[in-house]
């Protein structure tokens, strides 16, 4: 009897997915654990793996269609089974016409042309000939940014919001409509930390330093480290630190799991690796799953302060502005100090303003004294 392969929920925040490419045609043999389709969800491209051995009978979802998790995507039969031996397909579900195996293009990442699923999908939408595109990813792989950088093929300067930004817009609007978001901001004197950072024997950005501080300070402020699942609040037993990475046409938030146990060097290295994977389109579902708190850094773009939007289902997010020089009174004169503005957006249903202010106060104290970084550098 034919088996329905369902769309898995690869991450806690995953609600739906989009088939970007089928890798099997009707009649193709299927091995247990073999990739049979490419699926995109929340800016992460993943392979859909078969959960049994058999034969690919029929695709139930068309390429480009967005469906909720647990939706039946295809039928897999026993070896030698025919489609007419399987269960009836629900009325109104049109089977996908898949190209025969002999004419079907090779999967991404095989052959001479290396293309990420997102780049292939975007190229198809814009009518781009991938053979004419020079890839900037690892080993010359074509990534989404390479397609985004090309001139608009239509020439009229228009594009579909649903295709380009619609999923992001839906998620942000759901975050704003589904929670009572409040933002508190304060300046932090990071003069001493600036000097200490300059002497580090390895590279650590301001996002790394603040992420390290957050992962230590959050232990004393558990209401801000967790998620909301329906009407239940789940406080994290560890800090799984998400950080926003800007991509062409959107954002993705990789997660450093158990960041509170990572040294500053390890945290900075992991962040760099995950950011590189995000830009090359090679993030895995586990790379974005389980975040309990997010840091978003716009300081490198000259922004002093901004109001970040919570990354659902999390409770809070911290926005970082640039480190700038300000004048302060000192011993009857003027001293120049290095200052950073941080902005904490949190769900007011979970915590009030005073606990949030105390969290920012403790974070400011940690960042103003490099001693807190010494043991973990």
State residue 179's pLDDT score: 92
One domain, residues 175 and 146: no
Predicted local distance difference test score (pLDDT) of residue 100? 39
What is residue 377's predicted lDDT score, i.e. its pLDDT?
61
- Distance from C-alpha of 274 to C-alpha of 123, rounded to nearest angstrom: 24
The answer to whether residues 183 and 280 belong to one domain is yes
**Considering its fold, how many domains does the chain have in total?**
3
**348 part of the active site:** yes
Please report, for the domain that includes residue 30, its CATH number.
2.40.50.100
Q: Which of 85, 104, 123 is the last residue of a domain?
A: 104
On whether the CB atoms of residues 202 and 181 are closer than 8 A, the answer is no
Is residue 164 included in any domain, yes or no? no
Instruction: Check whether residue 129 and residue 211 sit in a common domain.
Output: no
**Predicted structure pTM score:** 0.70
From 69, 88, 104, give the residue that closes a domain.
104
**Do 45 and 118 sit in the same domain of this protein?**
no
Q: In what order do the strands lie in the sheet with 44-49?
A: 44-49, 35-41, 16-22, 66-68
Query: Is residue 225 located within the same domain as residue 354?
Result: yes
Report the alpha-carbon distance of residue 142 to residue 116 in Å, rounded: 6
Domain that holds residue 149: 110-158
Q: Which of 344, 277, 283 is closest to 308 using CA atoms?
A: 344
User: Is the same domain home to 70 and 136?
Assistant: no
Is 89 inside a domain boundary?
yes
The token pair that represents 91 in the structure block:
């009325």
Phi/psi for 43 (5° steps) reads 70, 10
Q: What integer pLDDT is reported at residue 103 of this predicted model?
A: 35
352 is catalytic: yes
Pair 219, 188 in one domain: yes
String of DSSP letters for 214-242: HHHHGGG-GGGSEEEETTEEEE-SS--EE
Residues 200 and 134 in one domain: no
Q: Do 191 and 303 belong to one domain?
A: yes
CATH code of the domain containing 130 = 4.10.320.10
pLDDT by residue (tens digit) across 223-246? 999 999 888 999 999 999 999 998
Q: Does residue 163 belong to any structural domain of this protein? A: no
Residues 6 or more apart whose Cβ sits within 8 Å of residue 303: 321, 322
Residue 174 and residue 138 share a domain: no
181 shares its domain with 277: yes
pLDDT, tens digit (0-9, with 9 covering 90-100), for 232-291: 999 999 999 999 998 876 788 999 999 999 999 999 999 999 999 888 877 877 888 899
Contacts of 18 by beta carbon, 8 Å cutoff, 6+ apart = 39, 40, 41, 64, 65, 66, 67
Tell me what pLDDT residue 107 has: 41
DSSP state of 157: S
**Any domain includes 318:** yes
* Catalytic residue of the set 32, 152, 301, 348: 348
Pairwise CA distance, residues 130 & 363, whole Å: 48
What pLDDT is recorded for position 170? Answer: 72
- Which pLDDT score is estimated for 156? 60
Strands 16-22 and 66-68: antiparallel
Within a domain: residue 78?
yes
Given the residues 32, 152, 195, 352, the one annotated as active site? 352
* Domain match, 249 and 178 both: yes
Task: Give residue 237's pLDDT.
Answer: 94
Burial of 66 (0-12, 13-18, 19+ CB in 10 A): middle
pLDDT at 95 (0 to 100): 41
Q: Which residues in the chain land under pLDDT 50?
A: 85-111
Q: Which of 81, 104, 127 is the last residue of a domain?
A: 104
């Amino acid at each position: 009897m034919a088996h329905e392969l369902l769309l898995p929920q690869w991450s806690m925040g995953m609600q739906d997915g989009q088939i970007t490419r089928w890798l099997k045609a009707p009649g193709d043999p299927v091995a247990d654990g073999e990739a049979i389709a490419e699926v995109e969800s929340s800016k992460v491209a993943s392979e859909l793996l078969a959960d049994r051995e058999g034969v690919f009978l029929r695709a139930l979802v068309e390429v480009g269609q967005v469906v909720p998790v647990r939706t039946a995507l295809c039928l897999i039969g026993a070896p030698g089974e025919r489609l007419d031996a399987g269960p009836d397909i629900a009325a109104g579900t049109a089977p996908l016409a898949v190209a025969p195996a002999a004419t079907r293009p090779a999967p991404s990442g095989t052959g001479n042309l290396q293309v990420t699923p997102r780049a292939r999908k975007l190229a198809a939408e814009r009518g781009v000939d991938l053979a004419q595109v020079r890839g900037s990813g690892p080993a010359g792989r074509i990534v989404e940014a390479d397609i985004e950088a090309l001139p608009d093929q239509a020439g009229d300067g228009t594009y579909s919001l649903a295709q380009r930004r619609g999923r992001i817009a839906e998620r942000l609007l759901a975050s704003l409509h589904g929670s009572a978001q409040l933002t508190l901001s304060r300046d932090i004197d990071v003069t001493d930390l600036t000097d200490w950072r300059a002497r580090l024997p390895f590279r650590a950005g301001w996002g790394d330093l603040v992420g390290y501080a957050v992962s230590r300070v959050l232990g004393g402020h558990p209401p801000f480290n967790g998620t909301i699942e329906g009407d239940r609040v789940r406080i994290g037993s560890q800090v799984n630190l998400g950080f926003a990475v800007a991509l062409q046409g959107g954002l993705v938030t990789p997660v450093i799991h158990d960041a509170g146990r990572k040294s500053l060097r390890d945290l900075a290295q992991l962040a760099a690796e995950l950011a590189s994977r995000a830009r090359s389109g090679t993030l895995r579902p586990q790379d974005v799953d389980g975040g309990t708190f997010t840091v978003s850094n716009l300081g490198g773009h000259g922004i002093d302060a901004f109001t970040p939007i919570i990354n659902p289902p999390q409770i809070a997010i911290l926005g970082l502005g640039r480190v700038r020089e300000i004048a302060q009174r000192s011993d009857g004169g003027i001293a120049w100090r290095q200052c950073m503005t941080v902005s904490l957006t949190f769900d007011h249903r979970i915590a009030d303003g005073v606990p949030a202010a105390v969290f920012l106060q403790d974070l400011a104290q940690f960042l103003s004294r490099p001693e807190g970084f010494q043991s973990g550098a």
